[in-house]
Structures are given as structure tokens and as C-alpha cells.
């Protein structure tokens, strides 16, 4: 038996993030864990807020009747109604429970939408640099990935996006705060985007990092500005519960095809094998939907890392949100520079893994003590590049 050609090709292009994770395992064996500084995975290094743990205890102790069994594929009606009420307050959109589908994280939400709207050969626009799993999601459902470059600040280039739209364009995936760049798209950008999105195209707004912004910045509500958008949400980052796989898909009732899309996505949720979102965690997030980790710890590490890298000579702008920094590498070959960092015990992800060579992604989920210990290695790698240029 052989695996499919499609999967074989996707495995060949598989995420640099996971590749670096495997390299990290080997380095730890060779050098000891205390000498390896892993900036690769966006896996929260903090525990969930106490309010989340308290809610989990209450839900488990209450042990509602049939709380461990099947429910409607879209999730518990009471949970959906609570989430819809909170969404209505935030966005001004008159959501009801039937407009919300509880999903296995934002990834589950995105996949249910793509499965529901794509015919073979339909196109989905992603903004470069982008989260690499988007490509696999799109291709898994028969779609074609259309990459569009962002501007020098990593913000959407409206003209380029408009030029990329064709009669086969079904969706644009929008990710703000962005992984990997940390960019947050403002009101003007969303308003301009709204002006070029036309039926049957929809915007899938992927928002797992929305609560994680810095310097008091509050991202605009996508649905207050964009008429043809759906929200893919996850509590993985905000609550530091990435292993629990809980999120939702919100389909505004004002969308012309809302009823058909709701039905299709509920069906897709089942046939993709999710069946339904984790039962216990539906009740937990309904109790404390706005609980968020202390963002100050990420902002402090952002400031420490960006200031230190900038002082060394790196081009390392401060991200506005998420928990990633996306500095330029000192040499154009980002993969080669990642190799230099590995010699220093530093694991980073090359920008090429996100579609933008000449950069690297550094995750702020690394413990502060490891971040501090890594700085000398960053300085030595940068100096080695300078010596190479001088030679």
C-alpha cells in the first residue's frame, strides 16, 4: 500500500515549525535541555487563568445530565446562545444561537467553511507571509491557494488583492493579529477590503490572537466593518488551552447566504470527523468567555527581545499583537541564518516557512530566563554574518 500523492507532496512541504521541533529534540539530547532555546512553537508557557480552572471544576462537579454524550453537531444550544449574546454585544450584529457553531478550535472552524464553499479549482486568497497550515487546509478541500504579498508593514495591499480576485475566488483568509508578523489591521484597512469583496467571495477572519495585543491596542471588530465576513475563533491562545481544541464559527445572520452556509458548515463539522466540539469545554468557555492570560508577560518579553535584537543591529520591529516577533535575518538566506542560530542552541523558524524569505519567526512563549540566556547567541550569530560580509 502507498500513501496518496497529495499527502506525500504536502508532507514534503510540511511546516518548518514542526521540522524545527524535531531538530530541537535532537539538540537537547546532544547539549542538554538547559542549553537549547526554543523559539519555534506557539505553545503557551503559562497556565490558564484561575477563572478558567475554577469554571472547569464547577462544570465537572455539576455533572449535567448527558454532559458526556452527543449533542447537536453545532454544539449545545445553551452554549451557542451565550456565545451569540456576547458576540452581539461586541459586534453590534444581531446574532442568535443558531448563527454560532462550536468547533474544534479556529482550525476546525476554517476547515468547515472551506469544505462547505469550495468546489475543485476554486481559489482562496492568503496574505503573505501566512500561517502555513492554511495551504494544507485549502488544498485538502480541492481549492487553489492564491498568495498576495502584503506591504512593507505586513498590512494588506488592497490593490494587489483586488487584482488577484477572479470569478473563481471564493474566500480571503484574514488573520489579525497576525501569525507570524504580529500586525494588527486597522479600521481603514478593513474598510478598504470591504469595498472590494463581492459575492460569492467571503472573508474568513481567523482571530485566535485577538485578545493578545500590546500597548493598549484594541483591534477593530471585523463584523462592524465587513459585510461579507465570518469569524473563526479559538480560546487556545487567550486562555492558554491549546490542547483542548475549543472555538467557534460565527456566521452573521445578515449575510445573504447565512442559512445555507450554517447548514452546510454544521454538516461539514460532522463529515470531517469532528462530530462536535469537546463537550465539557463548551460549558467552560460559556461560563468565562472573556478570561484571558496576563498579556503583560508577553509584552515584557516582546520589549526585552526587540530592544536587545535592535541594539545588536537586527531589524526587529515590535509586533502589535499575537506572541511572535518577525525580524529580518542579517543575511538574505534565512534558512542559512537559522543554521547559524542552531549552532548557538537557538531554534527559530525561517520566514521561508511562512512564504517570506529573509525573515525569522521567534515565539514569545519561551520562558523569560531562556530568552535572556539566548541573547549572547543571537549576538554571536549576527557578528558571524558581519565577518562573512567583511571577508
Instruction: Convert the pLDDT of each residue in 294-335 to its tens digit.
Output: 999 999 999 999 999 999 999 999 999 999 999 999 999 999
Q: Which of 16, 13, 10, 40 is nearest to 28 (CA)?
A: 40
Do 360 and 337 touch, CB atoms closer than 8 A? yes
Q: Residue 351: its pLDDT value, please?
A: 96
Q: What average pLDDT does range 58-81 have in this prediction?
A: 94
**Rounded Cα distance, 252 and 257, in Å:** 10
Please provide residue 217's backbone torsions phi and psi, each rounded to the nearest 5 degrees: -70, 135
Do 163 and 138 touch, CB atoms closer than 8 A? no
- Cα(first)–Cα(last) distance of the chain, in Å? 53
Q: What average pLDDT does range 136-165 have in this prediction?
A: 97
- Does pLDDT of 12 surpass 70? no
Q: Residue 3: its pLDDT value, please?
A: 80
Residues in the chain: 391
Q: Which of 24-28, 59-63, 65-69, 357-361 has the lowest mean pLDDT?
A: 24-28
Q: Residue 15: its pLDDT value, please?
A: 67
Residue 275, all three cell numbers: 462530530
Per-residue pLDDT band for 391 (boundaries 50, 70, 90) equals very low
Q: Which of 188, 174, 192, 186 is nearest to 128 (CA)?
A: 174
Q: Which of 76-80, 141-145, 200-204, 385-389 has the lowest mean pLDDT?
A: 385-389
DSSP label at residue 320: S
Do 184 and 178 touch, CB atoms closer than 8 A? yes
Q: What average pLDDT does range 205-218 have in this prediction?
A: 97
Helix (H, G, I), strand (E, B) or coil at 205: strand
Do 213 and 324 touch, CB atoms closer than 8 A? no
Do 130 and 148 touch, CB atoms closer than 8 A? no
Residue with cell 458548515: 265
Strand order in the sheet with 360-363: 324-325, 360-363, 349-350
Rounded to two decimals, what is the model's pTM? Answer: 0.94
- Does pLDDT of 100 surpass 90? yes
Residue 94, all three cell numbers: 444581531
DSSP label at residue 273: T
Helix (H, G, I), strand (E, B) or coil at 127: strand
Q: Residue 33: its pLDDT value, please?
A: 83
Residue with cell 542538554: 32
Per-residue pLDDT band for 390 (boundaries 50, 70, 90) equals very low
Residue with cell 463537550: 279
Question: In terms of DSSP H, where are the helices of the chain?
Answer: 5-12, 16-31, 50-62, 77-91, 105-117, 133-140, 158-164, 187-194, 222-225, 258-271, 279-287, 296-312, 334-343, 368-390
**Rounded Cα distance, 258 and 229, in Å:** 11
β-strands 247-250, 229-234 pairing: antiparallel
Q: Residue 44: its pLDDT value, please?
A: 84
Residue with cell 476547515: 111
DSSP 326-346: -PBPSSS-HHHHHHHHHHTTE
Cα R_g (the chain), whole angstroms: 21
Cβ neighbourhood burial of 243 (10 Å; 0-12, 13-18, 19+): exposed
Q: Residue 130: its pLDDT value, please?
A: 97
Do 315 and 325 touch, CB atoms closer than 8 A? no
Q: Does residue 390 or residue 100 have the better pLDDT?
A: 100
Residue 143, all three cell numbers: 481549492
Q: What average pLDDT does range 149-161 have in this prediction?
A: 97
Helix (H, G, I), strand (E, B) or coil at 300: helix
Per-residue pLDDT band for 172 (boundaries 50, 70, 90) equals very high
- Cα–Cα separations (whole angstroms), residue 233 to 32, 81, 104, 251, 256: 37, 16, 10, 11, 21
DSSP label at residue 104: S
Do 139 and 365 touch, CB atoms closer than 8 A? no
Amino acid at each position: 500500500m502507498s500513501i496518496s500523492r497529495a499527502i506525500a507532496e504536502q508532507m514534503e512541504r510540511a511546516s518548518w515549525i514542526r521540522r524545527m521541533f524535531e531538530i530541537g529534540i535532537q539538540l537537547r539530547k546532544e547539549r542538554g535541555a538547559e542549553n537549547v532555546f526554543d523559539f519555534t512553537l506557539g505553545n503557551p508557557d503559562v497556565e490558564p487563568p484561575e477563572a478558567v480552572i475554577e469554571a472547569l471544576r464547577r462544570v465537572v462537579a455539576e455533572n449535567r445530565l448527558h454532559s458526556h454524550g452527543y449533542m447537536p453537531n453545532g454544539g449545545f444550544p445553551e452554549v451557542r446562545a451565550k456565545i451569540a449574546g456576547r458576540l452581539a454585544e461586541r459586534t453590534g450584529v444581531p446574532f442568535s444561537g443558531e448563527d454560532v457553531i462550536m468547533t474544534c478550535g479556529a482550525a476546525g472552524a476554517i476547515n468547515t467553511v472551506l469544505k462547505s464553499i469550495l468546489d475543485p479549482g476554486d481559489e482562496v486568497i492568503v496574505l503573505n507571509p501566512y500561517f502555513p497550515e492554511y495551504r494544507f487546509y485549502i488544498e485538502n478541500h480541492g481549492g487553489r491557494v492564491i498568495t498576495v504579498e502584503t506591504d512593507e508593514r505586513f498590512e494588506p495591499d488592497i490593490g494587489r488583492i483586488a487584482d488577484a480576485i477572479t470569478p473563481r475566488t471564493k474566500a480571503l483568509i484574514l488573520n489579525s493579529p497576525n501569525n507570524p508578523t504580529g500586525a494588527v489591521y486597522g479600521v481603514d484597512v478593513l474598510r478598504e477590503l470591504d469595498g472590494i469583496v463581492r459575492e460569492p467571495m467571503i472573508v474568513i477572519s481567523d482571530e485566535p490572537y485577538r485578545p493578545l495585543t500590546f500597548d493598549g491596542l484594541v483591534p477593530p471588530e471585523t463584523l462592524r466593518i465587513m459585510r461579507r465576513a465570518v469569524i473563526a475563533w479559538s480560546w487556545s491562545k487567550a486562555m492558554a488551552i491549546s490542547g483542548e481544541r475549543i472555538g467557534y464559527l460565527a456566521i452573521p445572520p445578515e449575510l445573504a447566504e447565512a442559512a445555507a452556509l450554517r447548514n452546510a458548515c454544521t454538516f461539514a463539522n460532522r463529515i470531517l470527523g469532528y462530530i462536535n466540539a469537546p463537550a465539557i469545554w463548551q460549558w467552560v468557555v460559556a461560563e468565562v468567555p472573556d478570561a484571558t492570560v496576563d498579556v503583560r508577560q508577553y509584552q515584557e518579553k516582546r520589549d526585552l527581545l526587540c530592544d536587545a535584537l535592535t541594539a545588536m543591529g537586527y531589524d526587529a520591529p515590535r509586533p502589535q499583537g499575537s506572541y511572535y516577533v518577525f525580524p529580518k535575518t542579517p543575511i538574505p538566506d534565512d534558512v542559512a541564518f537559522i543554521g547559524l542560530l542552531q549552532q548557538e542552541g537557538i531554534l527559530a523558524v525561517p520566514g521561508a516557512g511562512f512564504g517570506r524569505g529573509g525573515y525569522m519567526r521567534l515565539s514569545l512563549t519561551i520562558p523569560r530566563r531562556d530568552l535572556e540566556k539566548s541573547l549572547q547567541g543571537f549576538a554571536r550569530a549576527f557578528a558571524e554574518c558581519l565577518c562573512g560580509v567583511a571577508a
